[in-house]
Amino acid sequence: MTKWVYRFGDGQAEGRARDHEVLGGKGANLAEMCALGLPVPPGLTIVSDACNTYYKNGRHIEDQVKAEVRAGIAAIEAITGRRFGSVSQPLLLSVRSGARVSMPGMMDTVLNLGLNDETVQALGHDAGDARFAWDSYRRFIQMYADVVMGLGNDAFEEILEDEKAKLGHEFDTELSASEWQHIVSLYKKLIEEELEQEFPQDPEVQLWGAVGAVFASWMSARAVTYRHLHNIPEGWGTAINIQAMVFGNLGNASATGVAFTRNPSTGERALYGEFLVNAQGEDVVAGIRTPQSITEEGRISSGSEKPSMEKLMPEAFRELCRICTELEIHYRDMQDIEFTIERGKLWMLQTRSAKRSTRAAMKIAVDMVDEGVITEDEAVLRIEPSSLDQLLHPTIDPRVTRQVIGSGLPASPGAATGAIVFTAEEAVEAESEGRKVILLRVETSPEDIHGMHAAEGILTTRGGMTSHAAVVARGMGIPCVVGAGTMRIDVRNERLLGVGVTLKKGDIITIDGSAGQVLKGEVPMIQPALSGDFGRIMGWADRARRMTVRTNADTPADALAARSFGAEGIGLCRTEHMFFEGERIHVMREMILAVDEKGRRVALDKLLPMQRLDFTGLFTVMHGLPVTIRLLDPPLHEFLPKTDDEVAEVAFAMGMEASVLRQRVDALHEFNPMLGHRGCRLAISYPEIVEMQARAIFEAAVAAAKETGAAVVPEIMVPLVGLRTELDYVKARIDEVAGAVMNEAGMKIDYLVGTMIELPRAALRAHVIAEAAEFFSFGTNDLTQTTFGISRDDASAFIPTYQRKGIIEHDPFISLDFDGVGELISIAAERGRRTRNDMKLGICGEHGGDPASIRFCETIGLDYVSCSPFRVPIARLAAAQAVIAGSLEDVRRGPKDLRASV
Ligand code: PEP
Ligand code: MG
């Protein structure tokens, strides 16, 4: 029988941190902290599977779940000595979401549950503080009306602001008990008017309303978007944590806050955090009041006048430091915690491995190795490979004089330039038009998530380092400055008022997310140096990995960049790209338009020296490292003009009639060119093209070997082979040319001829094709296209719909389809090696730079992955993680879960 509820409290817990798949991250860690004897308010966790059941039952909570929750609440009552719904000593509850991975701000929470017109009196009496009780009640009504009744927040905020203005108060903390009581009556009236129903007074009704709403928030639009962006499966569901309330708003000896055990932006080893006196948790995260620093050091460096927690509440501070150290040692990782101080007593509300910038992640991993806390292999596992993108972001050239027009907190590192926009929608629109923008918001909310993703950078004028904007931007790796209080955003008139300047929509600014500065205009940037902590981690990764990492590069410049990122060879040089530049396209067209072989050879003779020069450049840069060159692949009409104007222009340049050119272009037209006259089919129709390319390769190999002194072993790759006889035919042409060039040069050249595996037939007949092929490279772009029968150029029209509707989890053109395409690769690898056991196997489709796909490549024993230059570090790290995770055997799961874990 399913156990729906796990309890914790008073030093005992039914769950542990390892149960996070069942209890969600928050619930599992509350249990763990409780078991460690830390001060955690007693509570219970409803397992995440109950969320799925809730949906299966047509958004209905199972009776069995309700029964177990009731029993759990009875246990909380026993520990606290209070009763849920009691009018003398009422127990109030918090109801919080908590999925397997953190989804900051995406789902809902209800606090102070259990308050009604009677219990509020008892709470005030009990605490000896009526003001606190009415403040809690108005908070509860507002939150409940928003989350459960769907009324939103704005009307409540308006009432509060109006009343404060009438009473002449600036801050919420200035309101008296009777003033809050009056506001409560206004809130209740609003609900009656808007919804034609009363605010529910029965705590039991409130409870199930809140539980249902938190489950429902799993499917809210923003949660769905967030999951989509972060590849979080819908089937995980959210757990719910119900706990006894502790109050940070119980006067000036009470507070609530968040802390990181190290600095999440830089990784520096120092407690880092913010808190608010006389407030509840949501006030900190919402960024409504600017919080105070926890430590004196933090206060001084932020230039704040407001006292730190270290000064204001020294005892609670010492206890917090002690617990932070204990948690870091226990979890062996930097923690992100939430706490509340109720009349001087510290309570822990959450701990989890903290999100951090990539730079911080590197520093923390390296420091923890030096501190003896983790091993080098573990340090490698601590870095999310795709996050390395962040390190490759440009930073502002230190030599430039900065025209600073505003400053705030350095929330997410890197610098970005763009035109200013004021709404998330404008950011999304700009991205779709290829324009770079900086998104300006007073503060962001989860509804802005689309726009945040589309923007180059984010700037807010309110909120702290733990505000929504800061947390989300860091997670996305987007440069971000928050709380730029020296600036003002005038949304109505679409203006940004900075120091000495007023900018309007569309004006260019630069933000420096590492320094917390806003600069006017575009500013020169530099690429970061990949050394220091990055260098050490990559060194450990290189030692651990088995597969080599090559790059897809067509020019010496790309190859050079890739080598600086650690590429160990070229896995794919797409030769067609070489024919589009300058003069070459004309010669290429001359070749394509020639009416016979003789005419084609005349044009190919002109292309030969150009190709030779290309290959010599590549071989020279690669200095003896392996280079795989693929023969011409795309259909020839791709090189020809398309519109009538282009045809007329090209015809004029070539001295031919436009109508003749049009006829030739039309003759080359294909209905389905991706499955048409391309790949090795071209080589078979026009062997003279292969002969030219092979000659250019071998002559370049001779030239480069002479220049560098390092022998070049070219690997010539034949695309789109489906039949062994196709490969035989093309290979024979290559071998002939090789023999001729070796004779002419008086020098032996070692070379390999292999094929791409990008058709299902080739994968299935790999043992036969391997008789002729000396290597295989999996062209997973085409292999995905041909396996699914989905055109890779048209897939984006419906793949997102498939993902939204849960038909597929991942876009198979981005992350390998293990079950189908993956099985074909496994079959081909196994059959190929059966024929030729030393056969070199690699992958050169886009998947070669995708961490989950790389992991798959490791499991089936490929020799290398090849990806675009900027993804080389990602691939090096992912390849190492695949080995370490395998050897540590901490991932004893199927390929689907392997994907989730990377
Ligand atoms: C492939 O198909 O995976 C591949 C690498 O080739 P291209 O993308 O050039 O078709
Ligand atoms: Mg291909």
The string of pLDDT tens digits covering residues 644-702 is 888 898 888 888 899 989 998 898 899 998 899 999 999 999 999 999 999 999 999 99
Q: Is 468 a catalytic residue?
A: yes
Asked if residue 602 is part of any domain, the answer here is no
Residue 452 φ then ψ, to 5°: -65, -40
Asked if residue 18 is part of any domain, the answer here is no
Highest mean pLDDT among 71-75, 106-110, 383-387, 638-642: 71-75
> Looking at the structure, do residues 276 and 416 belong to the same domain, yes or no?
no
Given this model, what pLDDT does residue 390 score? 67
**And the tokens for 881?**
């993680």
Better-scored residue on pLDDT, 285 or 897: 285
Integer Cα distance of 165 and 336 in angstroms: 37
DSSP-H helix ranges across 401-544: 424-432, 449-454, 468-476, 532-544
DSSP-H helix ranges across 150-202: 154-167, 177-195
Integer Cα distance of 345 and 38 in angstroms: 12
Domain that holds residue 885: 545-575+609-632+695-901
Q: Is 574 in the pocket of ligand 1 (CB under 6 A)?
A: yes
* H/E element, 443: none
Which of helix, strand or coil describes residue 514? coil
**How confident is the model over 221-227, as a mean pLDDT?**
88
Asked if residue 19 is part of any domain, the answer here is no
The closest residue, in CA terms, to atom 1 on ligand 1 is 779
407-420 confidence digits (pLDDT tens): 888 888 789 999 99
> Looking at the structure, do residues 337 and 421 belong to the same domain, yes or no?
no
Burial of 398 (C-beta count, 10 Å sphere; 0-12/13-18/19+): exposed
CB count in 10 Å sphere of residue 224: 15
Asked if residue 604 is part of any domain, the answer here is no
> Looking at the structure, do residues 193 and 268 belong to the same domain, yes or no?
no
Q: Which atom of ligand 1 is nearest to the CA of 777?
A: 5
Given this model, what pLDDT does residue 376 score? 96
Q: Is 578 in the pocket of ligand 1 (CB under 6 A)?
A: no
Which of helix, strand or coil describes residue 343? coil
Percentage of the residues of the chain whose pLDDT score is greater than 90: 72
Answer whether residue 365 shows pLDDT above 90.
yes
> Looking at the structure, do residues 811 and 714 belong to the same domain, yes or no?
yes
Domain count, the chain: 4
> Looking at the structure, do residues 228 and 265 belong to the same domain, yes or no?
no
Given this model, what pLDDT does residue 894 score? 36
- Three-state SS for 206-268 is HHHHHHHHHHHHCCCHHHHHHHHHCCCCHHHCEEEEEEECCCCCCCCCCEEEEEECCCCCCCC
* β-pair type (457-460, 437-441): parallel
In this structure, are residues 678 and 672 in contact, taking their beta carbons and an 8 Å threshold?
A: no
In this structure, are residues 676 and 589 in contact, taking their beta carbons and an 8 Å threshold?
A: no
Answer whether residue 190 shows pLDDT above 70.
yes
Q: Is 844 a catalytic residue?
A: yes
Integer Cα distance of 677 and 723 in angstroms: 15
Residue 731 Ramachandran class (φ > 0 left, ψ -120 to 50 alpha, else beta): alpha
Asked if residue 765 is part of any domain, the answer here is yes
Asked if residue 598 is part of any domain, the answer here is no
Q: Is 410 in the pocket of ligand 1 (CB under 6 A)?
A: no
Domain CATH for 308: 3.30.470.20
Q: Is 780 in the pocket of ligand 1 (CB under 6 A)?
A: yes
DSSP-H helix ranges across 292-437: 296-302, 309-312, 314-331, 358-370, 376-381, 424-432
Interhelix angle 130-147/154-167, nearest 10 degrees: 150
784 Cα: distance to centroid of ligand 2 (angstroms): 10
Integer Cα distance of 729 and 686 in angstroms: 12
131 marked ligand binding residue? no
Weakest mean pLDDT among 60-69, 321-330, 865-874: 865-874
**And the tokens for 284?**
């900190």
> Looking at the structure, do residues 198 and 289 belong to the same domain, yes or no?
no
Integer Cα distance of 456 and 445 in angstroms: 18
Q: Which residue carries 């004897």 as its tokens?
A: 37
189, 221, 244 - which closes a domain: 244
User: Residue 348's closest CA among 35, 593, 635, 75?
Assistant: 35
> Looking at the structure, do residues 231 and 323 belong to the same domain, yes or no?
no
Domain CATH for 517: 3.50.30.10
In this structure, are residues 246 and 346 in contact, taking their beta carbons and an 8 Å threshold?
A: no
In this structure, are residues 388 and 881 in contact, taking their beta carbons and an 8 Å threshold?
A: no
Domain CATH for 764: 3.20.20.60
Residue 220, C-beta contacts closer than 8 angstroms, at least 6 positions apart: 106, 107, 108
> Looking at the structure, do residues 401 and 280 belong to the same domain, yes or no?
no
pLDDT confidence band for 482 (50 / 70 / 90): confident
> Looking at the structure, do residues 699 and 843 belong to the same domain, yes or no?
yes
Q: Is 782 in the pocket of ligand 1 (CB under 6 A)?
A: yes
pLDDT confidence band for 890 (50 / 70 / 90): very low
Catalytic entry in 468, 637, 810, 847 = 468
Asked if residue 689 is part of any domain, the answer here is no
630 marked ligand binding residue? yes
Q: Which atom of ligand 1 is nearest to the CA of 845?
A: 3
627-643 confidence digits (pLDDT tens): 999 999 999 988 888 88
119 marked ligand binding residue? no
553-566 confidence digits (pLDDT tens): 988 988 998 998 89
pLDDT confidence band for 466 (50 / 70 / 90): low
In this structure, are residues 358 and 386 in contact, taking their beta carbons and an 8 Å threshold?
A: no
> Looking at the structure, do residues 837 and 892 belong to the same domain, yes or no?
yes
Integer Cα distance of 682 and 440 in angstroms: 52
753 strand-pairing partners:
716
User: Residue 814's closest CA among 828, 800, 804, 801?
Assistant: 800
Greatest alpha-carbon pair distance for the chain in Å reads: 103
Domain CATH for 209: 1.20.80.30
User: Roughly how many angstroms between the first and final C-alpha of the chain, as a whole number?
Assistant: 32
The closest residue, in CA terms, to atom 4 on ligand 1 is 779
Asked if residue 858 is part of any domain, the answer here is yes
> Looking at the structure, do residues 175 and 274 belong to the same domain, yes or no?
no
Answer whether residue 229 shows pLDDT above 90.
no
> Looking at the structure, do residues 868 and 761 belong to the same domain, yes or no?
yes
**And the tokens for 323?**
């617990």
781 marked ligand binding residue? yes
In this structure, are residues 400 and 391 in contact, taking their beta carbons and an 8 Å threshold?
A: no
Q: Count CA atoms within 13 Å of residue 864 on its CB side.
A: 23
pLDDT confidence band for 475 (50 / 70 / 90): low
Q: Is 781 in the pocket of ligand 1 (CB under 6 A)?
A: yes
How many helices and strands in the chain, by DSSP H and E? 35, 34
Given this model, what pLDDT does residue 900 score? 37
Integer Cα distance of 436 and 452 in angstroms: 12
